[in-house]
Structure 1
């Protein structure tokens, strides 16, 4: 039974990925932490993990499996009665973040309890599956399941126009697709952290031009195109370095090509310093639904080179804060990299504009906008209950 409250609702965000180093988990943890600092009652809910005890509400798992396309990730099927019991005591509204076993269990439990359900679209699951398996037909098998999941929600949240278009393609009515603001920690990611000596540990000379990639090391990030582009860059500028940062993904340990340095996973202030200390951000992914790292790069004062496909380009004003290229054409990516590597004045101009543009991604404002959405959903439910 839903509680009709005049104050901020108690929110449970349920996700299959809370322990991984990816945009979903990092973004959700950042949102929850900022919302709690603002005094809101909000919890991140995920599956239990052996030996893990943190601020996440952990649900016991009935089963754990590993999928061939994501062998380094464990997918848990939670115990629905335990989840429903906790939600019944602790939540007024449920937000499901992923269409996996935990997300589906959250949807089922919320419907059992009569709680309103919001679904945020974070991942191009069907496209990921197709790219990682190398079988385009997989997309046609997975996409109807994803569409079914989002159609069950009262409201779907879209962090980008690309996602809004995707949800519309599922047949979800426009009045049930709401754009949602996202934010970045601009205190953590800022140009003043620049310290070229911090790159010395990776064997990068202090005067070397540095392009940076940060993200999951996997096929769906279109890293083959970046590696191919860097071969062209290296031939023209053997002094330049591509620093690849990522602690997760099946391609870990494979970036051994000339001029490429693989750093492993970096986090917190260490990552923020590396962002600010590079010269260009290169992100060729064509499957982004938002692209946290692009905004983090901008906040750090870096011009970004991104793909025109997916949502990445929505955070870059082409020719003003960075460059937008065809991610399927390594030659275009190489030309953009060389253009910025060889023109320090242009880098500075675009980087300064990117930093100014990042001010529109204020984290506190994003929290306020998110809870405004929650309030609107609750108000709608209250009107239904009163009628």
Structure 2
């Protein structure tokens, strides 16, 4: 089977989407399928790339515009050819290339799927700050037109996005759960390759919180930093690492916080240093607006680092004070601060949650994710055949 992914983000950009592709594409190829990934052509990249056998990257036309760290792209003949030769088209975001790719796939009579990893309501309201009329207009276009007419099957890794799909009126039979897993050969407790505390002048006896991800509005970074600053007022031995870049990095990293000397903004960190950063910390804090159970939550768990995240539509196997601390109202800085101080002050609780989180993430694996993914693809591809058989049977009964 030939699967074509259409995505508005890929290397040399590094984010959760790229991390996901690094996991799932080799597993799909290993299962005996071919994968083509269509993405924006970024300066310095080639039209075609062949990372390994069975996987081709196709770069689509880029008019030179980018925003929020992402490049704008339009369909071209390379994209058209890649989609035409595929058996199944998989849309990975409702960005420009994704939306046009979905429309083009339907014009070609291709079956389509979409991995849902964003909530457009958060992007429109909290990031773009568009007015109510345009908010309702765009949301209706995406939920009723694009999701309703151009996507056959939806895939989600976490409960947050299944809830969004149900809110949008998508029937549950079109939704497939493909839970995240983590490569424990890359993310594991202890034995860091780099001494991150020494690099940044953090005392060995300090208690360190870590955030890993894009510094962007939808990640609720502003509330996290304000809450951390307040917690640091109460605890002079509390330090915080903010690992990652993102469109708002300069704003957040240059703001004159009261405890700025204990807030360390690392900027971009290469993959081979991430494990060292996680295990340098005593707990992980990520009260994101957009997601409760993202990759970094599970990477921290895999490193046996206790996690603070959002309670809103979190995965059902993540439980408050058992394998994570869950924040009920992520806009409430006092509640974020309270959870930070709870882990800061209670070493036994940190160890308990860290061990339980590690046990949870160890129970998941990518083979299961890919099996569920391929099951959804096969369900979609053979839906027309099932409908035809059902029609024949119904006609036979009537006769």
Q: Same fold (TM over 0.5)?
A: yes
SS of aligned partner of 1:29: helix
Please say which structure displays the higher CA radius of gyration: 2
Q: Which moved more, 1:32-41 or 1:199-208?
A: 32-41
Kept in 1: contact 2:89–2:113 (CA 8 A)? yes
Flag the 1:340–1:117 CA change in 2: closer, same or farther, 3 A: same
Kept in 2: contact 1:117–1:153 (CA 8 A)? yes
Flag the 1:265–1:365 CA change in 2: closer, same or farther, 3 A: same
Q: Confirm whether residue 131 of structure 1 aligns to residue 126 of structure 2.
A: yes
User: Which residue of structure 1 aligns with residue 72 of structure 2?
Assistant: 75
Give CA-to-partner distance per residue, 1:151-192, whole Å, 9 cap, x none. Answer: 121111222222122112222222222222222212211113
Structure 1: where are the runs of 5+ without partners?
Answer: 1-8
- Please list, as runs of the form range in 1=range in 2, the aligned pairs for 1:147-166 lying within 5 A after superposition: 147=143, 148-151=145-148, 152-166=150-164
Of 3, 20, 41, the residue aligned with 1:11 is 3
Q: What is the CA-CA distance between 1:64 and the residue it aligns to?
A: 4.2
| Aligned-CA RMSD value | 2.3
How many Å separate the matches in 2 of 1:315 and 1:187?
A: 23
User: Which residue of structure 1 aligns with residue 319 of structure 2?
Assistant: 317
Structure 2: where are the runs of 5+ without partners?
Answer: 393-399
Kept in 2: contact 1:181–1:370 (CA 8 A)? no
User: Which residue of structure 2 aligns with residue 100 of structure 1?
Assistant: 95
Kept in 1: contact 2:114–2:155 (CA 8 A)? yes
User: Which residue of structure 1 aligns with residue 82 of structure 2?
Assistant: 86
Kept in 1: contact 2:8–2:70 (CA 8 A)? no
How many Å separate the matches in 1 of 2:146 and 2:364?
A: 29
How many Å separate the matches in 2 of 1:341 and 1:195?
A: 25
User: Which residue of structure 1 aligns with residue 137 of structure 2?
Assistant: 141
SS of aligned partner of 1:63: coil
Q: Which moved more, 1:361-370 or 1:137-146?
A: 137-146
Q: What is the CA-CA distance between 1:196 and the residue it aligns to?
A: 8.0
Q: Confirm whether residue 59 of structure 1 aligns to residue 35 of structure 2.
A: no
Flag the 1:315–1:287 CA change in 2: closer, same or farther, 3 A: farther
User: Which residue of structure 2 aligns with residue 3 of structure 1?
Assistant: none
Q: Confirm whether residue 23 of structure 1 aligns to residue 20 of structure 2.
A: no
How many Å separate the matches in 2 of 1:377 and 1:345?
A: 48
Kept in 1: contact 2:292–2:309 (CA 8 A)? no
Give CA-to-partner distance per residue, 1:209-241, whole Å, 9 cap, x none. Answer: 110001110111111211111122111211211
How many Å separate the matches in 2 of 1:328 and 1:285?
A: 10
Q: What is the CA-CA distance between 1:29 and the residue it aligns to?
A: 3.0
Kept in 1: contact 2:75–2:101 (CA 8 A)? no
Q: Confirm whether residue 344 of structure 1 aligns to residue 340 of structure 2.
A: no
Q: Which moved more, 1:267-276 or 1:376-385?
A: 376-385
How many Å separate the matches in 2 of 1:361 and 1:205?
A: 35
User: Which residue of structure 1 aligns with residue 288 of structure 2?
Assistant: 285
Q: What is the CA-CA distance between 1:195 and the residue it aligns to?
A: 6.7
How many Å separate the matches in 1 of 2:98 and 2:317?
A: 28
Kept in 2: contact 1:193–1:272 (CA 8 A)? no
Q: What is the CA-CA distance between 1:273 and the residue it aligns to?
A: 1.7
How many Å separate the matches in 1 of 2:124 and 2:298?
A: 26
Tell me the TM-score normalized by structure 2: 0.86
How many Å separate the matches in 1 of 2:232 and 2:308?
A: 17
Q: What is the CA-CA distance between 1:303 and the residue it aligns to?
A: 1.0
Q: What is the CA-CA distance between 1:271 and the residue it aligns to?
A: 0.5
Q: How many residues align?
A: 373
- Please list, as runs of the form range in 1=range in 2, the aligned pairs for 1:202-281 lying within 5 A after superposition: 202-252=200-250, 254-255=252-253, 257=257, 258=259, 259-281=262-284
Kept in 1: contact 2:4–2:82 (CA 8 A)? no
User: Which residue of structure 2 aligns with residue 168 of structure 1?
Assistant: 166
